[in-house]
Amino acid sequence: MVADQLNNSGWQERLASCKVLPLLHNKINKDMCTKLLHLAWEDWSPEVQQGAAQALGKTSHAKVDICSNAHGLSLTLHFLVTVDS
């Protein structure tokens, strides 16, 4: 149900899903990890990009460095573990 909202057309719903995922006690599967990666790099909303990157970081799939600069937010992901399917 939460994973379905990652594909929602509304950015608020996508952001809410990114915030909820780390709070769940289930492991994130490969498909969900791939979707979060896609959102972190490709979503048009900077809030969703940051939320997806933070979700990956909070679930120990990546170390996330987010910093503000003159051009806006800079996002760096360092992958820590691989995800089993």
Q: What is the CATH number of the domain that holds 48?
A: 1.25.10
Would you say residue 38 lies in a domain?
yes
Q: Is residue 35 part of a domain?
A: yes
Asked, for residue 85, whether it belongs to a domain, the answer is no
- Residue numbers of the domain that contains 72: 2-79
In three-state secondary structure terms, 28 is: coil
**Distance between CA atoms of 46 and 79, rounded to whole angstroms?**
20
Q: Is residue 79 helix, strand or coil?
A: strand
Does the pLDDT value for residue 61 go beyond 70?
no
Q: Does 77 have pLDDT greater than 60?
A: no
In one-letter notation, the amino acid at residue 55 is A
Coil, strand, or helix at residue 85? coil
Domain count, the chain: 1
* pTM, 2 dp: 0.71
Check residue 71 and give its pLDDT: 56
Work out the burial of residue 58: count CB atoms within 10 Å of its CB; fewer than 13 is exposed, 13-18 middle, 19 or more buried. Answer: middle
pLDDT digit string, tens, across residues 5-56: 999 999 999 999 999 988 887 777 888 888 988 898 899 999 999 899 888 8
Would 84 be classed as within a structural domain? no
Q: Is 14 inside any structural domain?
A: yes
